[in-house]
Amino acid sequence: MDATATWNADEAVTELYAAHYRRLVRLAALLLRDVRVAEEVVQDSFVAMHRAWQRLHDPNKALSYLRQSVVNRSRSALRRRSVEDRHAPTAALATASAEQGALGILDQQEIVTALRALPIRQRETLVLRYYVGLSEAEIATAMGISRGAVKSHAARGMTALRSVLEQRP
């Protein structure tokens, strides 16, 4: 019998924390910008997962539950906080600090800034696809939307980012 099948809720929290906490915080931070809120969102998600463990009882389902919870809670946190990142896509370039000498960092910042200016669902789709590396079906589950909607959010997001993504070789 698989050892994971015998985990109780506390063990599930400990094991999944060790394996996935940092990555989930990074996921939330990409959606949110604010690391402290990102950590709170992920901790909330673990607490919720602990409550749901009786029902989940499976590490893969639990991870899927955690992702879904992080995405949902990040979205709520963003809506709660009236100050969303409203940087125009060009803001990062115009204001890059002298501390950041490398062009690579500038490019990266510009891309991330443009990503953060996207509508929430488009941003979620692209982060889940290109940071977490989920399939279309997994993204649909994490966001609670249809695969068709995932496709269209992704396509619109990529179109909106095209200028920053293809600006330079």
What are the residues binding another protein (CB under 8 A)?
A: 8-10, 13-14, 17, 21-22, 25-27, 29-30, 33-36, 38-40, 42-43, 46-47, 50-51, 54, 81-83, 86-88, 90-92, 94-97, 99-100, 105, 107-109, 111-113, 115, 125-127, 129-131, 136, 150-151, 154-155, 158, 161-162, 165-166
Residue number with CB closer to another protein (61 or 151):
151
The radius of gyration computed from the CA coordinates of the chain, to the nearest angstrom, equals 18
CB of 32 to another protein, least distance (A): 10
CB of 64 to another protein, least distance (A): 18
User: Environment class of residue 26 by beta-carbon count within 10 Å: exposed (0-12), middle (13-18) or buried (19+)?
Assistant: middle
CB of 4 to another protein, least distance (A): 16
Residue number with CB closer to another protein (21 or 58):
21
Contact 62, 71 (CB under 8 A): no
CB of 30 to another protein, least distance (A): 6
